[in-house]
Chain A
């Protein structure tokens, strides 16, 4: 039963990377059976009323046969909220609600600021989620979210509110996602970072960037200053020369930390965390494990079975963020209204 364990202070250089034998006898009496652990079936069985809500009013989002996220049913006729960056670029999005499968969901709209997508499936008579009046739950309050799923059955995982609601600023500030070189004509694009806003907007190597947000720029430092004062997720107008022709593109700024990740020791021990886990105006935080980034997008329920938020980012092995119901509800209603126009 010798295992490698890791000491857990927050910075590598201080801590001896201790490898210690776990000096515990492996006798059955000394170890709690999986069934009775916090994530075990015997414990989650006590959360059947909340599970019934997850069964009917949460969605499982698929790319082919692969589960990529969960979602929240918000209208009887098939509007579903999910985490935008997990469904982005998926050719055909399939959705399962309760026991029914719905092919080829439409992405009606996305909100980059909150990383939320509104999907529409061809359905009637779904059971929309019931919103909690607010997300003001003290730490220690039980919360329930999607656990393992099968074709017919949703299971749940449970945890507690862990921390105070707060803003999560973008990791490392906002960037375009290009490497630039100063030249006589302007700033020439040397490289476009993968998955960056610049790449998605269609910026290419060899483009000459001449202005940003309508302001002419000739130096990298000047550009950095303008971008640095903006928030990740916002759109900025970029003026370019391509093959001598002037053109304008709307580029969505990325968070530096999401684009150029320096894997910290905490990240190494966290396993599968969300690609986008920063730059949220406000989140609530809980300790439900989930299986990593694919478990985001579903509802977070309180004991009354009402949604207090939507899982939006698995930050690390001990911290998960959710969009609070106040903001989520406003966002959802706004998106549906706009979609109806």
Chain B
């Protein structure tokens, strides 16, 4: 009896070691009710965790989806959702919790982007996250499932789950035959083990034609995107042009710096608390000894870039930090 159970243990241990690939994927099509049930069992096991990590990304004037891939709240999404580097956005967790987030780097040519949730979960809880399939071993015909906040966030509905197969595979795009729609952009595509294999990018004219960015595109550019680099020239995001950023102040020369004479309504300057009469002394460590100096610094910066001022107001010195806006 003892011997038998030991054998059983060894056999099952081996099974676990080789049970890497989802067995139905080796068949051209499911062949029996058992195969159908195996797909269903895999989905039922994988969807809850996948759903917990699938977030809505609220951009103010629209929304997309994303998926959390670390306990610290790193999110993978599409470049045409994040649209830029260093942008402040809001993330909706599945339970409706709204958290602040900042876009990190992106690859404008392949539609890949990262963002970091900066807000904290209650009691500092770790973020639910999904595993990335770094093995890059998916192949044509594999069964997959998609999640996403189709048409925008709906707490009662939750993220929408859909099934499909990999119907085309190429280096920077994989195609599935599930159904996607607006709001799904940036959402996750999973293999049957619930590992992330792609990010939703765009749809074709036919329903069963959806394009996703494979995770390999992300992992190849991972460090650069983590460092908030804007990679590539488009078409999925437009690189902000230097010198086209918006601050929203008028100034005049003054003793020890330049003085603010006017602050634009709803400008980045106003939102950062800059007021008429403030004396701007330095910007990003450089002395503002003339209005031309301010202009020459701004000429080298673009929308989304950080500005750190040292100012004097009512005789008191204080720092003011803000991001250059887009015109």
Binding site for B on A (CB under 8 A): 3-16, 18, 20, 22-25, 29-32, 35-40, 42-43, 45-47, 49, 138-142, 159-164, 166-167, 264-266, 269-271, 285, 287, 289, 303, 316-319
Contact = CB atoms under 8 A, between A and B. Distances in A.
Interface in B188-217: 200-205, 207-208, 211
Contacts of B151: 10, 266, 316, 319
A162 B160 contact: yes
Contact of A10 (B32, B152, B167, B178): B152
Contacts of A24: 168, 170, 173, 175
B185 interface: yes
A14 B83 contact: yes
Contacts of B161: 139-140, 160-163, 287
Nearest to A159: B163
A46 B29 contact: yes
A15 to B, nearest CB: 6
Interface residues of B, number: 72
Given A10-B62, A47-B36, A32 B162 contact: no
A30 B62 contact: no
A140 B201 contact: no
A31 B51 CA distance: 29
Given A36-B165, A37-B165, A164-B157, 18 more contacts: A4-B205, A6-B204, A8-B200, A9-B185, A18-B236, A20-B202, A31-B140, A32-B141, A36-B141, A37-B177, A43-B29, A46-B31, A47-B36, A142-B39, A160-B162, A162-B161, A269-B182, A317-B179
B145 A140 contact: yes
Which among A11, A29, A159, A285 has the highest number of chain B CB atoms within 10 Å?
A11
A8 B36 contact: no
Contacts of A12: 62
Nearest to B157: A163
B172 interface: yes
13 contacts: A7-B78, A16-B236, A30-B140, A31-B168, A36-B28, A37-B177, A38-B163, A38-B164, A38-B208, A46-B33, A139-B51, A166-B156, A319-B160
B32 to A, nearest CB: 7
Interface in B59-109: 59, 61-64, 78, 80-81, 83
B186 A9 contact: yes
A37 B167 contact: yes
A18 B80 contact: yes
B232 to A, nearest CB: 13
Interface stretch (B40-48, B256-264, B277-285, B316-324): B40-48
B173 A32 contact: no
A46 B30 contact: yes
A39 B164 CA distance: 9
Contacts of A39: 177, 208
Contact of B203 (A6, A29, A32, A160): A6
Contacts of B172: 23
A133 B157 CA distance: 22
Interface of B: 28-33, 35-37, 39-40, 43-44, 46-47, 51, 59, 61-64, 78, 80-81, 83, 140-141, 145, 149-152, 156-170, 172-173, 175, 177-186, 200-205, 207-208, 211, 235-236, 238
Contacts of B170: 23-25, 30
- Determine chain A's interface SS by DSSP, over half rule: loop
Contacts of B160: 162-163, 285, 287, 318-319
A277 to B, nearest CB: 12
Given A8-B203, A43-B30, A140-B47, A266 B35 contact: no
A130 B267 CA distance: 64
- Determine chain B's interface SS by DSSP, over half rule: loop
Contact of B36 (A35, A265, A303): A303
A142 B36 contact: yes
Contact of A9 (B64, B167, B205): B64
Given A39-B177, A318-B181, A46 B32 contact: yes
A270 B43 CA distance: 26
A289 B166 contact: no
A14 B150 contact: no
B202 A8 contact: yes
B178 A287 contact: yes
B179 A318 contact: yes
A32 to B, nearest CB: 4
A16 B80 contact: yes
Contacts of A5: 202-204, 211
| Shortest 9 CB-CB contacts between residues of A and residues of B | A11-B62, A140-B43, A10-B183, A14-B62, A42-B29, A318-B179, A9-B64, A32-B167, A287-B162
Given A8-B183, A9-B185, A141-B44, A319 B167 contact: no
A316 B179 CA distance: 10
Given A5-B204, A159-B163, A36 B29 contact: yes
A265 B173 CA distance: 24
Given A30-B170, A36-B141, A163-B160, A13 B201 contact: no
Contacts of A139: 43, 47, 51, 158, 161
A86 B198 CA distance: 39
A318 B180 contact: yes
Nearest to A302: B40
A317 B208 CA distance: 9
Nearest to B202: A5
Contacts of A161: 161
Given A36-B165, A164-B158, A142 B40 contact: yes
A155 B163 CA distance: 19
